[in-house]
């Protein structure tokens, strides 16, 4: 064990004091607990937005722009309205025309109207929406809407869009520069002077589609009481409620968002989308429920995507591998609107420094508008791009200097207690162990000897545990929970966290059961309904286990304390109430566990004692004084074994190893699922998920041409959990949901470098690039030989 | 949205052919329908009548005898071909090909007749069957005719079938002695359609290539018979070098398109490599 | 266009449905019969979320016409459990966490059920092959493979919940 | 001597270069306007910084900051 974790072990003691009411060893945490929503999902009982039907429900379809950049001169829907079965058509003119955005704190970053009023900025942007009695009629009606466009010149590449004569996509945004971000510490110029070796590289990282299995869909119902209720497949019921209220000019309290079962999110479902907005506008006009379901093609061309980035990286190191300074410049393709782009641009810059100590670091990021599909957050949130560039360059540097890449990483790695100057404090860090585990795995494999055309590559990474910066400008605490104890001992837990498949409901149930001292099956969890659940920022940035988890602990401690007061009164003879605890439905004296009473009895006494009120506990959590970015950081190493057919460039994943530090695990099954899932998505980003655009048009908006990892391509994914203890985490836990999307592409690139000596600077890595790189290498070597002979 | 159509369900082949001649230009035969429903959904294919022949069990058969060779009924599913012991024994290459043809769900429902008639340039069975010298039996109310599968394909999604005809049977001649056949497609997902593919049939006479048939998939609007590759091989003493030459020749015979999956040039490069390998593979089998 | 009256035997229950012949099997199951456990994730027969069993064969119900299944036996994820007891494959999925968002799950269940019917002791590769036509964006597939292996090993033959 | 931001006036840094970074980093209309008022295009400088190595853009602004110090 490393000194860091020893340190954190020490912290564990005082930690238990802060959660004073659960002194004895946890008995439920990190045990095998199937998801509490499992049976509903395995038997077809779970009702997704996709399945919702309401009385008198109409079906909506959206007319989309065929042009990447055009003025809307006129929209004539008369032919559509004349079609029997069509109930109504809405356009931007039926809205308040408010420019909305999820960065509510900064008006100039709120730039998207969803149903655009005067101008379209990408192919697929909603122009009008129809509601009809059947989906088929709605679809037919779409073709009957006549739109007059004045087509404007478009620009699709950020480098082009920044040129003087490039068309201006948003009025007043010079050179189409949407956001710039700058991070700096130390004095780069000085520290580059100290470096023995400086390397500069250009990289390009492609986009990626979230490709949630449930396409964007919504059912909205506006009623004469001037109240709006909608079912929506999203990652944050509260965000959607608040955004919708704002853009429709309603009070938040009059808007109810229900997102009970969600068919995947991955960072693509916490912004306003066309499905929900058009459904709401139509419903408000017609006073009928309206359902809109995106086709897969719509989901590809008219939502948002991972941000493509051009990276320039300059790194200076000493002969012995000590890092001196790094300078990075990023120009990202923002697409038509901002979305979460500002965050992605900051985070890619921040995580490009991860997980290493840089005496000085300088990052300039530029996000540029183009007439393409908007880009935004996606699992990893800018970090996969950052790692693709950083981790490959570091591997190349180690080779150039003849150093052990693992040891060079270790030498410069983060450690518990390190402070990223002006940015972040590292409370716990398992990087050192991760390096050791990965190094041993690789050594063992290479000692046994790899089959022909096999090679191993690896990459380090780190990630955040939820965001700190309140860009949404929410007055509420970031997370909150309410726990209610019934007289029969059953427990109802209300959280604002959104269950999108990651298992958050189960994780909250586990935390609740552990803290209260009951069993998971005693607990009902309610989430994803803004009328019944407290506000919570929702599922993004790997924040829920940490933040909502802490809120649940506080709520349970509140309730538990109230309960124990009654137990104390009955059992008496104790010094302080903290001498009592509850475990597995048994209320007992900590020093004399056999002395106690059943939980259900206590529930009855307590309820009567409270003159019949049900015992309720409330908990809130908002990170404070935790730097700029996140309260905690996870660390990991990803190693992959690939097989390459050098003649065709055919690449296949053969085996892998994940060493991941997520603090102390809470939901074991959920953790494994998150890591394996992140791996498959990250590997796809590395070599399959190519997303080409031509003149603003996505060339493969379907699952025939957009390739993703399938079962037959998935290697074994053994996982080494490194249990550190995160002082601020619920029972020591931290991020597990996104981090592993970050290292894998770089690990594959590094495998190609270690095996064949080629440097891949563009991802996804496609077969012809490999063949090309091998050819160039061969020619270079020939030339070199030739030169030698010449002498 | 699929345009409305009237569904006709013949009880036997004769009925089917009558319906076909009754509605010649306004009907579409649908067997499994998995390929054809996609263009219909996209509105690219509109038809008044659909004749559903999936239920025609009289066309669901696999027969073999050493003189006549193999006969497969048009409504036989890919899965039955894949699972047939006869075919596994006599034409293993067909089983290998079927095993990587799309997903099991698709193979369970999709039929060989439907696949061939759909005439997708990226289809797997056609190149293999052509290399094996297969023929298709076409039937109409007027009668039957047999043509080589090679002539059957005229253009992208176009065949030599008259509008009142349908495929009823696929005929594959017996494998000559000392003959090996191989098929390989290039793709990144195991059972995905091929970015390009090659089927090779090689008959040996001692160490000389007596006969060869190289057919390329997705390297033109129809399956491409790489005749000059055949010429390179026939009558020559087999060698790795010769296999490579055959690859070069095959690339020359091909006329691929550029798309997002591969450029024209890269497809040519791939087909060189694949042909070289498959010829060698077939050669090795033939020499067993 | 002439509407057609057909009978679909879904989960052992015969349903008479009167429908436009262009109706896809998945639409008949979800919209006409009202069993929404079966999902749809694409229009190109690529994702497998709509997989059901027709006469014990796994097929993609978005790729075939309902009229083609007249009189046939169809099984959906709703048809796996008996008297509130999960089928072994469902228990396997539950205990291995072989689903997350759950949207691909019924398709995965049907594809793997069909495999186990045909081949009760499949190899790892055979299991992967059986779900090759099903996309899961959440799990990375391995937990699904583990679940099928558990079931094949007989772990849930007696098993209750 | 310390260098003040000619826009915020109150904020100051030991090096003029850091003021330039602050100006780019903030990048709001007020700071843009000041840069423009010095006869150079803020956007041009940003693009130059994004697309070429070195820090010429920052140096240019740093010089302007130094010039501006006297009348602060």
Residue A9 confidence (pLDDT): 41
Domain presence at residue B117: yes
Mean pLDDT for the stretch of residues B45-61: 95
- Residue B68 and residue B158 share a domain: yes
Residue A222 confidence (pLDDT): 98
Please give the mean pLDDT across all residues of chain C.
96
Please give the mean pLDDT across all residues of chain A.
94
At residue A14, does pLDDT exceed 80? Answer: no
For residues A736 and C27, give the distance between their C-alpha atoms in angstroms, rounded to a whole number. Answer: 38
Mean pLDDT for the stretch of residues A76-86: 98
Those of residues 1-60 in C touching chain B at CB distance below 8 A are: 1-2, 4, 20-22, 24, 43-45, 48, 51, 54, 57-60
Confidence of residue A340 (pLDDT cuts 50, 70, 90): very high
Contacts of D46 in chain A (CB under 8 A): 175, 177, 180, 366
Q: Which residue has the tokens 């964007």?
A: A216
Instruction: Select the more confidently predicted residue: A24 or A434.
Output: A434
At residue A22, does pLDDT exceed 70? Answer: no
Would you list the domain boundaries of chain A? 49-152+211-301, 305-469+628-779, 478-621
Contacts of B109 in chain C (CB under 8 A): 54, 57, 59-60, 63-64
Same topology, domains A49-152+211-301 and A478-621? Answer is no
Q: Which of C74, C109, C137, C148 should we substitute to test contact with A (largest number of A Cβ atoms within 10 Å)?
A: C137
D3 neighbors D12 (Cβ within 8 angstroms): yes
Q: How many CB atoms lie within 10 A of CB A385?
A: 34
A185: tokens are 């510490």
Chains with 3+ CB–CB pairs under 8 A to D are A
Mean pLDDT for the stretch of residues C60-65: 96
When CB atoms are compared, the residue of B188, B193, B262 closest to A688 is B188
Mean pLDDT for the stretch of residues A573-593: 85
At residue C159, does pLDDT exceed 60? Answer: no
D45 neighbors D57 (Cβ within 8 angstroms): yes
To 5 degrees, how large is the angle CA A508–CA A513–CA A518? Answer: 160
* Contact: chain D with chain C (3+ CB pairs below 8 Å): no
Please state the pTM of the whole predicted model: 0.95
For B85-106, b where at least 16 C-beta lie within 10 A, e where not — what string? Answer: eebeebbebbbbbbbbbbbbbb
- Residue B132 and residue B88 share a domain: yes
Is D50 in contact with A331 (Cβ distance < 8 A)?
A: yes
Residue A791 confidence (pLDDT): 57
Considering the segment(s) A305-469+628-779 as one domain, its CATH architecture is 2-Layer Sandwich (3.30)
Per DSSP, what are the bridge partners of residue A368?
A177, A333
Q: How far is CA A77 from CA A81, A146, B280, D52, in A?
A: 6, 6, 64, 50
Closest CA to A356 of A308, A404, A443, A424: A424
User: What phi, psi does C17 have (nearest 5°)?
Assistant: -125, 140
- What is the span of the domain harbouring residue D54? 3-69
Is A677 in contact with C128 (Cβ distance < 8 A)?
A: no
The string of pLDDT tens digits covering residues A443-467 is: 999 999 999 999 999 999 999 999 9
For residue B228, the domain's CATH number is 3.30.390.50
Q: Which of these ranges, A81-90, B222-231, D63-72, has the smallest mean pLDDT?
A: D63-72
Mean pLDDT for the stretch of residues A252-276: 96
For A636-667, b where at least 16 C-beta lie within 10 A, e where not — what string? Answer: bbbbbbbbbbebbbbbbbbbbbbbbbbbbbbb
Q: Which of A139, A645, A767, A773 should we substitute to test contact with B (largest number of B Cβ atoms within 10 Å)?
A: A767
Number of domains within chain B: 3
Residue A12 confidence (pLDDT): 41
A372 neighbors A335 (Cβ within 8 angstroms): yes
Contacts of B193 in chain A (CB under 8 A): 704
The string of pLDDT tens digits covering residues A119-163 is: 999 999 999 999 999 999 999 999 999 999 999 999 999 999 999
A541 neighbors A633 (Cβ within 8 angstroms): no
Confidence of residue A624 (pLDDT cuts 50, 70, 90): confident
Alpha helices in A402-488 (DSSP H): 405-412, 431-448
At residue A542, does pLDDT exceed 60? Answer: yes
| For helices D29-37 and D16-26, angle between their N-to-C axes, nearest 10 degrees | 130
Q: Which of B1, B39, B101, B190 should we substitute to test contact with A (largest number of A Cβ atoms within 10 Å)?
A: B1
A63 neighbors A129 (Cβ within 8 angstroms): yes
Instruction: Select the more confidently predicted residue: A182 or A556.
Output: A556
For residues A521 and A643, give the distance between their C-alpha atoms in angstroms, rounded to a whole number. Answer: 46
Mean pLDDT for the stretch of residues B114-131: 96
Q: How many helices (H) and strands (E) does chain C have?
A: 5, 5
Confidence of residue A24 (pLDDT cuts 50, 70, 90): low
Q: How many CB atoms lie within 10 A of CB A507?
A: 31
- Conformation bin of residue A295: beta by default, left when phi > 0, alpha when psi is -120 to 50: beta
For residues A465 and A540, give the distance between their C-alpha atoms in angstroms, rounded to a whole number. Answer: 10
The string of pLDDT tens digits covering residues B244-258 is: 999 999 999 999 999
As a CATH number, domain A49-152+211-301 is 3.90.1170.50
To 5 degrees, how large is the angle CA A198–CA A204–CA A206? Answer: 150
The string of pLDDT tens digits covering residues C27-54 is: 999 999 999 999 999 999 999 999 999 9
Domain presence at residue B1: no
Confidence of residue B69 (pLDDT cuts 50, 70, 90): very high
Question: Is ipTM strictly over 0.85?
Answer: yes
Domain presence at residue B157: yes
Confidence of residue A637 (pLDDT cuts 50, 70, 90): very high
Is A650 in contact with B186 (Cβ distance < 8 A)?
A: yes
- Residue B193 and residue B271 share a domain: yes
Chain B residue with the nearest C-alpha to that of C59? B105
| For helices D29-37 and D42-51, angle between their N-to-C axes, nearest 10 degrees | 100
At residue A20, does pLDDT exceed 70? Answer: no
Confidence of residue D24 (pLDDT cuts 50, 70, 90): confident
Query: Taken in order A504, A505, A508, A509, is the CA torsion positive or negative?
Result: negative
For residues B129 and A507, give the distance between their C-alpha atoms in angstroms, rounded to a whole number. Answer: 55
For B180-201, b where at least 16 C-beta lie within 10 A, e where not — what string? Answer: bbbbbbbbbebbbbbbbbbbbb
Percentage of chain A exceeding pLDDT 70? 96
Q: How far is CA B154 from CA B120, B132, B219, in A?
A: 11, 19, 14
The string of pLDDT tens digits covering residues A104-124 is: 999 989 999 999 999 999 999
Number of domains within chain D: 1
Chain D residue with the nearest C-alpha to that of A187? D18
At residue A59, does pLDDT exceed 60? Answer: yes
Please give the mean pLDDT across all residues of chain B.
96
Domain end residue (candidates: B137, B172, B207): B172
Instruction: Select the more confidently predicted residue: B88 or A576.
Output: B88
Confidence of residue A593 (pLDDT cuts 50, 70, 90): confident
**Cβ within 8 Å of residue B275, ≥6 positions away:** B198, B200, B214, B216, B226, B229, B243, B246, B247, B250, B251
Closest CA to A526 of A548, A554, A557: A548
- From the CA of C153, how many Å to the nearest CA of chain B? 23
When CB atoms are compared, the residue of A35, A47, A708 closest to C135 is A708
At residue A10, does pLDDT exceed 50? Answer: no
Q: Which of C74, C97, C105, C122 should we substitute to test contact with A (largest number of A Cβ atoms within 10 Å)?
A: C97
At residue A2, does pLDDT exceed 80? Answer: no
Domain presence at residue B125: yes
Residue A21 confidence (pLDDT): 44
Any CB–CB contact under 8 A between A300 and chain B? no
At residue B47, does pLDDT exceed 90? Answer: yes
- From the CA of C68, how many Å to the nearest CA of chain A? 22
Mean pLDDT for the stretch of residues A590-602: 91
Confidence of residue A4 (pLDDT cuts 50, 70, 90): very low
For chain C, domains (ranges, CATH) are 4-79 (3.10.20.30), 88-152 (1.10.150.120)
Confidence of residue C126 (pLDDT cuts 50, 70, 90): very high
For residues B182 and B204, give the distance between their C-alpha atoms in angstroms, rounded to a whole number. Answer: 14
Chains A & D: contacts with CB separation below 8 Å: 36
Alpha helices in chain B (DSSP H): 13-22, 37-41, 78-83, 85-90, 92-99, 104-109, 112-118, 125-131, 149-152, 227-233, 240-253, 264-286
CB-neighbour burial class of residue C145 (10 A; exposed 0-12, middle 13-18, buried 19+): buried
Any CB–CB contact under 8 A between C101 and chain B? no
Instruction: Select the more confidently predicted residue: A776 or A628.
Output: A776
Closest CA to A491 of A581, A598, A585: A585
A599: tokens are 């939980």
Mean pLDDT for the stretch of residues A329-341: 96
- What is the span of the domain harbouring residue B196? 179-286
Looking only at the bridges linking them, the beta strands covering A227-232 and A255-258 are: parallel
For residues B223 and B131, give the distance between their C-alpha atoms in angstroms, rounded to a whole number. Answer: 10
> Domain A478-621 class?
alpha beta
A122 neighbors A372 (Cβ within 8 angstroms): yes
Is A264 in contact with C76 (Cβ distance < 8 A)?
A: no
Q: How many CB atoms lie within 10 A of CB D33?
A: 11
Mean pLDDT for the stretch of residues B98-111: 96
Rg of chain D over Cα atoms, rounded to whole angstroms, equals 11
Contacts of A180 in chain D (CB under 8 A): 24-25, 27, 46
Confidence of residue D56 (pLDDT cuts 50, 70, 90): confident
C7: tokens are 């009978």
For residues D66 and B261, give the distance between their C-alpha atoms in angstroms, rounded to a whole number. Answer: 55
Any CB–CB contact under 8 A between A184 and chain D? yes
């Amino acid at each position: 064990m490393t000194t860091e974790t020893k340190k954190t072990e020490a912290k564990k003691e005082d930690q238990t004091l802060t959660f004073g009411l659960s002194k004895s060893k946890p008995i439920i945490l990190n045990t095998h607990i199937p998801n509490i929503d499992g049976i509903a999902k395995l038997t077809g009982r779970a009702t997704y937005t996709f399945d919702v039907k309401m009385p008198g429900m109409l079906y909506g379809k959206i007319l989309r722009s065929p042009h990447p950049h055009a003025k809307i001169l006129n929209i004539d829907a008369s032919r559509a309205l004349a079609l029997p079965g069509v109930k109504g058509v809405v356009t931007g003119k039926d809205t308040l025309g408010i420019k909305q955005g999820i960065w509510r704190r900064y008006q100039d970053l709120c730039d998207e109207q969803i149903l655009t009023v005067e101008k379209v900025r990408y192919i697929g942007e909603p122009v009008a929406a129809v509601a009809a009695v059947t989906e088929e009629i709605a679809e037919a009606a779409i073709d009957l809407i006549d739109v007059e466009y004045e087509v404007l010149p478009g620009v699709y590449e950020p480098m082009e869009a920044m040129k003087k004569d490039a068309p201006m996509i948003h009025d007043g945004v010079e050179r189409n520069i949407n956001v710039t971000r700058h991070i700096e510490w130390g004095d780069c110029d000085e520290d580059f002077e100290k470096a023995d070796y400086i390397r500069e590289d250009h990289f390009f990282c492609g986009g990626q589609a979230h490709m949630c299995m449930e396409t964007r869909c919504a059912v909205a119902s506006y009623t004469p009481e001037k109240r709006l209720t909608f079912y929506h497949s999203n990652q944050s019921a509260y965000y959607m409620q608040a955004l919708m209220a704002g853009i429709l000019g309603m009070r938040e309290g009059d808007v109810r968002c229900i997102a009970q079962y969600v068919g995947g999110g991955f960072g693509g479902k916490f912004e306003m989308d066309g499905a929900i907005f058009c459904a709401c506008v139509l419903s408000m006009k017609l006073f009928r429920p309206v359902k809109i379901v995106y086709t897969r093609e719509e989901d590809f061309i008219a939502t948002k995507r991972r941000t493509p980035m051009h990276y320039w990286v300059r790194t200076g190191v000493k002969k012995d591998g000590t890092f001196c300074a790094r300078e990075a410049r990023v120009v990202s393709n923002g697409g038509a609107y901002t979305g979460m782009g500002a965050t992605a641009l900051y985070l890619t810059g921040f995580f490009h420094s991860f997980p290493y100590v840089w005496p000085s670091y300088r990052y300039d990021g530029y996000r540029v508008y183009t007439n393409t599909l908007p880009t935004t957050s996606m699992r990893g949130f800018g970090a996969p791009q950052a790692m693709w560039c950083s981790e490959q360059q570091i591997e190349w540097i180690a080779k150039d200097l003849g150093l052990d890449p693992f040891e060079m990483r270790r030498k410069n790695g983060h450690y518990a207690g390190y402070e990223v100057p002006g940015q972040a404090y590292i409370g716990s860090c398992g990087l050192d162990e991760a390096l050791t585990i990965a190094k041993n795995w690789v050594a063992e494999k290479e000692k046994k000897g790899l089959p022909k055309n096999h090679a191993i590559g690896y990459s380090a990474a780190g990630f955040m545990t939820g965001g700190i910066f309140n860009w949404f400008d929410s007055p509420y605490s970031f997370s909150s929970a309410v726990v209610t104890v019934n007289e029969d001992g059953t427990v109802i837990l209300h959280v604002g966290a959104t269950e999108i498949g990651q298992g958050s409901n189960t994780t909250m149930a586990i935390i609740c059961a552990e803290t209260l001292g009951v069993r998971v099956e005693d607990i009902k969890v309610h989430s994803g309904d803004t009328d019944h659940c407290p506000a919570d920022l929702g599922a993004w940035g790997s924040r829920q286990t940490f933040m909502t988890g802490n809120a649940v602990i506080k709520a349970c401690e509140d309730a538990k304390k109230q309960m124990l007061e009654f137990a104390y009164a009955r059992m008496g003879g104790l010094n302080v109430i903290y001498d009592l605890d509850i475990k597995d439905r048994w209320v007992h004296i900590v020093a004399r566990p056999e002395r106690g009473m059943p939980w259900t009895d206590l529930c009855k006494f307590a309820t009567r004692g409270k003159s019949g009120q049900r015992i309720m506990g409330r908990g809130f959590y908002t990170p404070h004084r935790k730097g700029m970015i996140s309260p905690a950081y996870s660390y990991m190493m990803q190693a992959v074994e690939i097989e390459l057919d050098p003649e065709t460039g055919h690449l296949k994943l053969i085996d892998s190893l994940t060493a991941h530090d997520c603090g102390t695990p809470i939901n074991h099954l959920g953790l494994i699922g998150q890591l394996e899932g992140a791996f498959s998505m990250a590997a796809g980003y590395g070599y399959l998920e190519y997303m080409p655009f031509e003149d603003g048009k996505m060339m493969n908006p379907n699952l025939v041409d957009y390739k993703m990892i399938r079962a037959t391509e998935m290697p074994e994914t053994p996982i080494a959990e490194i249990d550190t203890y995160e002082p601020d985490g619920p029972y020591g836990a931290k991020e597990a949901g996104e981090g592993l999307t970050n290292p894998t592409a770089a690990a594959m690139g590094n495998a190609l470098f270690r095996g064949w000596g080629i440097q891949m600077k563009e991802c996804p890595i496609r077969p012809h690039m490999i063949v090309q790189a091998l050819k160039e290498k061969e020619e270079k070597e020939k030339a070199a030989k030739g030169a030698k002979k010449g002498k | 949205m699929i345009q409305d159509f009237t569904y006709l369900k013949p009880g036997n082949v004769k009925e089917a052919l009558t319906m076909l001649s009754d509605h010649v230009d306004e009907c579409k035969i649908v067997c499994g329908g998995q390929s054809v429903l996609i263009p219909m959904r996209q509105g690219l294919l509109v038809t008044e009548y659909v004749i559903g022949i999936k239920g025609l069990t009289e066309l669901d058969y696999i027969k073999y005898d050493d003189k006549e060779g193999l006969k497969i009924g048009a409504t036989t599913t890919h899965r039955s071909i894949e699972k047939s012991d006869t075919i596994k024994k006599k034409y293993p290459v067909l089983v290998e090909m079927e095993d990587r043809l799309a997903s099991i769900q698709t193979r369970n429902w999709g039929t060989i007749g439907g696949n061939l008639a759909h005439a997708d340039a990226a289809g797997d069975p056609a190149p293999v069957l052509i290399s094996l010298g297969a023929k298709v039996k076409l039937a109409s109310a007027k009668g039957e005719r047999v043509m080589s599968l090679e002539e059957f394909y005229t253009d992208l999604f176009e065949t030599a079938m008259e509008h009142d005809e349908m495929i009823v049977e696929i005929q594959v001649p017996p494998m000559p002695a000392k003959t090996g056949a191989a098929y390989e497609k290039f793709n990144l997902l195991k059972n995905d359609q091929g970015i390009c593919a090659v089927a090779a049939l090689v008959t040996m006479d001692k160490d000389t290539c007596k006969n060869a048939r190289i057919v390329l998939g997705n390297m033109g609007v129809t399956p491409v018979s790489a005749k000059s590759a055949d010429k390179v091989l026939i009558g020559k003493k087999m060698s790795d070098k010769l296999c490579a030459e055959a690859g070069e020749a095959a690339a020359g015979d091909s006329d691929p398109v550029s798309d997002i999956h591969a450029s024209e040039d890269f497809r040519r490069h791939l087909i060189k490599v694949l042909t070289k390998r498959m010829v060698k593979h077939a050669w090795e089998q033939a020499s067993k | 266009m002439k509407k057609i009256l057909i009978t679909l035997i879904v989960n052992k229950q015969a349903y008479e449905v009167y429908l436009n012949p262009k109706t896809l099997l998945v639409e008949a199951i979800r919209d006409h019969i009202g069993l929404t456990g079966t999902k749809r994730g694409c229009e190109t027969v690529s994702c497998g979320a709509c997989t059901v069993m027709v006469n014990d064969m796994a097929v993609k119900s978005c790729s075939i016409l309902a009229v083609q299944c007249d009189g046939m036996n169809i099984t959906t994820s709703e048809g796996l459990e008996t008297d509130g007891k999960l089928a072994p494959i469902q228990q396997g999925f539950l205990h291995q966490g072989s689903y997350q968002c759950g949207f691909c799950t019924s398709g995965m269940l049907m594809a793997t059920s069909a495999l186990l019917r045909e081949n009760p002791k499949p190899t790892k590769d055979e299991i992967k092959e059986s779900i090759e036509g099903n996309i899961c964006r959440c799990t990375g597939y391995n937990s699904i493979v583990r679940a099928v292996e558990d079931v094949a090993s007989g772990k849930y033959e007696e098993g209750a919940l | 001597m310390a260098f003040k931001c000619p826009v915020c006036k109150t904020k100051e840094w030991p090096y003029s270069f850091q003021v330039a970074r602050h100006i780019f980093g903030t990048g709001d209309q007020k700071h843009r306007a000041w840069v423009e008022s010095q006869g150079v295009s803020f956007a041009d400088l940003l693009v130059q910084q994004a697309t070429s190595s070195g820090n010429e853009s920052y140096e240019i602004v740093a010089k302007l900051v130094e010039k501006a110090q006297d009348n602060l």
